[in-house]
Chain A
Amino acid sequence: MDTTLTTNWILACYVDDVPDNGGSCIKHGDEQIAIFNFSRRGEWYATQNLCPHKQQMALSRGMIGSAGDSCEPKVACPFHKKTFSLLTGECLGEDDMAIKTYPIKVENGKVFIGVD
């Protein structure tokens, strides 16, 4: 599906604003969105910043990495190390919770996020 047709792209930040293989948080109205620069894989991801486990605005400060043989990209919340897939937003542990993910693209050193 080509998301560009249905998505409202906003300029979130510049490539330099997010550390390599790490995350940063942006403010979009009242929303907090975590942006991850997975430079080791040349990929970018965006998710809600709120960890649903204890309702903490912390995911952008978490460590990213991969899980399993399929190398599912993931982020670990710094509070209690709950991990979430950056692709689907599903919690990778036994907990039944998930986070919202956003479409993201990089053009000319600018990072855009697709919002509703």
Chain B
Amino acid sequence: MSKPTIIVAGNGMVGYKFCEKLLARSLQFQIIVFGEEPRHAYDRVHLSEYFNGKTADDLSLSTHSWYADNGITLHLGDPIQEINRAQKTIHSLQGVTLHYDYLILATGSSAFVPDIPGIEKEGVFVYRTIEDLELIKACAATAKSGAVMGGGLLGLEAAKALMDLGIAEPHVIEFAPRLMPRQIDSAGSNMLQLKLNQLGLHIHLNKSTAAILGDKKIDALRFNDDSLLVVDMLVISAGIRPRDELAKLAGLHVGTRGGVIVNEKMQTSDEHIYAIGECALYEGVIYGLVAPGYEMADIVAAHLTKGDKSFYGYDMSTKLKLIGVDVASFGDAFITEPDCRTILFEDTHKGIYKRINISNDGKQLLGGILIGEAEAYNMLLQTVNNKIVLPPDPEDLILGSRGGAASDGAGVMNLPDDALICSCEAVTKAAICGAVNEQGITNMDGIKKCTKAGTGCGGCVPLVKDLIAGTMKANGQYIKNVVCEHFDYSRQELFDLVKINGLKNYDLVLDHYGKGDGCEVCKPVVASILSSLWNDVIVKQEVIQDSNDRFLANIQKGGTYSVVPRIPGGEITPDKLIVIGQVAKKYGLYTKITGGQRIDMFGAHLNDLPAIWEELIDAGFESGHAYGKALRTVKSCVGSTWCRFGLHDSVTFAIEIEDRYKGIRAPHKIKGGVSGCVRECAEAQSKDFGIIATEKGWNLYVCGNGGSKPQHAQLLATDIDNQTVIKYLDRFLMFYIKTADQLTRTATWLNKLDGGMSYLKNVVINDSLGLAEQLEEEMQALVNTYHCEWKEVIESPTARKRFSHFINAPDEKDPHAQFEPMREQVRAKEW
């Protein structure tokens, strides 16, 4: 007998999840999927990350081969057009007609587009699919100002996308008197608005759009109060509309405001047809989140395999980061007195608003709202869902314990075993603890593979990590982010220990705080710490330096080195250019302009390095520290001295900054940029720190990154003067140097920093830790003790002696280092 056929209409996240869930339960079905979009299922929740550099492939939930491997027939770009319920067949756009035993409607939703005059104009978009994003991206390339219609969750996501695309003047227009009206109250909305304003987003509430103006293309919006807003583009995000047209055509029951009506088994009015996800209407509600959609998928999979599972509505609690601001809403967020008691905390200085609603007897948490800081979200949600009895001082839940016995995060371990930790994948506490206990899982990646927890929206990840740590601790296993097997300390702890105890060399540090004989991991870490603290000449402890730092040059294929003299801000005189040319010619070096506006000379034998540097130093060059985990370059555009658009002298400022921080060792390399106007020719926003001229001063961005995972720098301060830029940079860089793990760039450091950018802003600008003065002093001490490492070497005969390949034949070069000709220069022989 052939397998019963299941046809899935829709290849979105929920349709995909259904296939996955069904396969997990049974292989007794023939599955056929029809999708309207040209690609296979992708992650729509993280769609805005497409603008942050994620590709369609990154967002993809599976591969083409996944469907084939699991025996699923996939029809892409071919939506189902018609259902013949009498014959149980479907008919697709491309003319495929197939019989089904069961049909699953997972057609999702489309953007609700209000009927406003001018809505058809060019430059008006919706925000739903990767194709929409591509259209928006193309338009944003030339647009200066843009607006989003709709201040809900998706609208703010779209606004973030506009900002990421470099729209100078982003606006959000909301019909209601507050932002995110479904999730947060007006006090929370005010706080969110305050924070978003600071980030450069203009917010217009109580605004109803009467018309979209423009000839062929949009050029302004007119509101009901007759005011105008000039914009180059508009993204509509005014809500969703269930895609129920197919169901309607087939005569299935649909709601008056859209949505295919389903029962608790997700069956439509035809028992052989199910509807799941955003097209399904259960008891008058459309569930517009992914987690309930996944739950519905599981219920259908269960029902088809004779399992017993029903849908009874879904908790719509949510936590997300909107344009860098934490926003969370959970349980009954809106219940008010006298039906409950409310505890409020509001801090306009830091932009934090927290509200919790507790039962009148003070024993149960009913719900709440968190803006600006939502660390407690997971625990609060668990407290609501599991009806955990509140402590006598429930305000501690949002304020933290102030004195008395500190809560040490033991909270997660007190949750009941059936507490739902990952709601997207329905993973309980017991499943996670079980994976740790029985399968020896010790990290998040392992849990993801083993249980799928944390693979959906990712919101539960902190809670899962706490559970892993808690379970391991309960088992007597100790976990810590240690440097390596020789030091049971994190880099930050080691930094403090070395500092407090005034230790000046590696062996002392190893004797006091380590074990064994060290290794290639901890030696450079300690070397970097010693250098960041005492700024001694690094070649005095040559054997603990990474090879590049040991020989003050970058090792290349074949064992030769490259040489990079410092060219601050990328400015160089003709005379110095000539010297570089002469040196390169004399020593047979391949020359190339680097990405950081300087010149790299490749192919130098170890033996030649001191002589090369002697000539460079004579000509006024100094080390470029291209070999070190240290400041590399501060890239600049030419600025106001020549450029007709330049607002300030970016080159002079870049040179000043490069000279200030040169030579300082850090957990990883540091790059900077200074642009003389908003055109940003120095690409400063891709650097660890970026400085961009404004009419009134400079905007300072931090924690950007090129490399394999590019990340834009984030705005730290606006319109500040030169002295303030340097003051904030001193604090920022020193704070990074002292607290980051080894080999962690500023971008990754920020991503891991609790509280993220708002915390960093507080430390650097508001001095929330009371450390600002100390950080500035420590930085100044490093600046004051700057030395050119190459100058120290060429002046010391013993140091020079180390630059020979054979210790018993000091004048002979390594015969193994070989070159091949290439375009009138040489290249290293391929290995």
Contacts and interface: CB of A to CB of B under 8 A. Distances in A.
A41 B519 contact: no
Contact of B519 (A13, A20, A54, A65): A65
A65 B551 contact: no
B559 interface: yes
Interface string A1-29: 00000000000110001111110111100
Nearest to A54: B831
B546 A27 contact: no
Interface string B503-530: 0000100000000111110111000000
B477 interface: no
A14 to B, nearest CB: 9
A99 interface: no
A19 B541 CA distance: 10
B520 A63 contact: yes
Contact of A65 (B516, B546, B548, B808): B516
A73 B517 contact: yes
A14 B329 CA distance: 72
Nearest to A36: B543
Contacts of A58: 547, 555, 559
Contact of A71 (B517, B523, B808, B817): B517
B487 to A, nearest CB: 12
A65 B523 contact: yes
B806 A25 contact: yes
Interface string A57-85: 11001111111100101101011010100
A64 B516 CA distance: 12
A112 to B, nearest CB: 12
B807 interface: yes
A32 interface: yes
Contacts of A81: 520
Contacts of B805: 25, 57
Nearest to B543: A22
Given A57-B814, A81-B520, A19 B555 contact: no
Nearest to B814: A57
B405 interface: no
Contacts of A57: 559, 805, 814, 816-817
A57 B558 CA distance: 8
Interface in B5-50: none
A90 B199 CA distance: 56
A76 B522 CA distance: 12
A90 to B, nearest CB: 16
Given A19-B542, A57-B816, A66 B558 contact: no
Contact of B807 (A18, A64, A78): A18
Interface string B812-827: 1010110000000000
B517 A26 contact: no
Given A22-B542, A55-B831, A62 B519 contact: no
Contact of A56 (B522, B559, B806): B559
A61 B543 CA distance: 9
Contacts of B241: none
B516 A71 contact: yes
Contact of A79 (B507, B518, B550, B555): B555
Contacts of B524: 63
B517 A24 contact: no
A78 B517 contact: no
Contact of B485 (A41, A55, A68, A79): A68
Nearest to B606: A61
B546 A63 contact: yes
Given A40-B517, A56-B559, A61 B808 contact: no
B807 A13 contact: yes
B530 to A, nearest CB: 15
B543 A63 contact: yes
B543 A20 contact: yes
A40 B456 CA distance: 51
B529 to A, nearest CB: 16
A71 to B, nearest CB: 5
A44 interface: no
A21 B523 CA distance: 11
A64 B522 CA distance: 11
Nearest to A61: B547
Interface in B51-97: none
Interface string A34-50: 01001011000000001
B520 A76 contact: yes
A78 B814 contact: no
A79 B130 CA distance: 41
Contacts of B542: 19, 22
A78 B543 contact: no
Contact of B518 (A62, A66, A68): A66
A79 B522 CA distance: 17
Given A54-B831, A78-B547, A26 B520 contact: no
Given A13-B807, A61-B547, A56 B516 contact: no
A107 B808 CA distance: 17
Contacts of A20: 543
Given A24-B807, A61-B550, A67-B519, A56 B831 contact: yes
Given A17-B807, A54-B831, A27 B519 contact: no
B808 A74 contact: no
B104 interface: no
A18 B802 CA distance: 9
Interface string B304-320: 00000000000000000
Given A63-B523, A65-B520, A74-B519, A27 B543 contact: no
Given A13-B808, A17-B807, A56 B519 contact: no
Q: Which of A22, A25, A65 has the most CB of B within 10 A?
A: A65
Contacts of A38: 517
B406 interface: no
Contacts of A19: 542-543, 802
Interface in B224-268: none
Contact of B507 (A40, A50, A74): A40
A62 B547 contact: yes
B333 interface: no
A61 B551 contact: yes
Contacts of B520: 62-63, 65, 76, 81, 83
Contacts of B816: 32, 50, 56-57
A12 B808 contact: yes
B809 interface: yes
Contact of A66 (B519, B544, B817): B519
A26 B806 contact: yes
A66 B543 contact: no
Contacts of B814: 32, 57
Nearest to B545: A63
Contacts of B546: 63, 78
B365 to A, nearest CB: 48
A81 B548 CA distance: 13
A75 to B, nearest CB: 9
A50 B809 CA distance: 18
Contacts of A41: 517
A72 B127 CA distance: 59
Contacts of A61: 547, 550-551, 555
A66 B486 CA distance: 9
Contacts of A22: 542-543
A27 B517 contact: no
B517 A25 contact: no
Given A17-B808, A66-B519, A78-B548, 10 more contacts: A18-B807, A19-B802, A26-B807, A50-B816, A56-B816, A63-B520, A63-B543, A65-B516, A71-B516, A83-B520
Interface of A: 12-13, 17-22, 24-27, 32, 35, 38, 40-41, 50, 54-58, 61-68, 71, 73-74, 76, 78-79, 81, 83
12 contacts: A17-B807, A17-B808, A19-B543, A32-B816, A61-B551, A61-B555, A63-B519, A63-B523, A63-B546, A78-B546, A78-B548, A81-B520
**5 closest pairs, A vs B, by CB?**
A78-B547, A22-B543, A65-B519, A76-B520, A66-B517
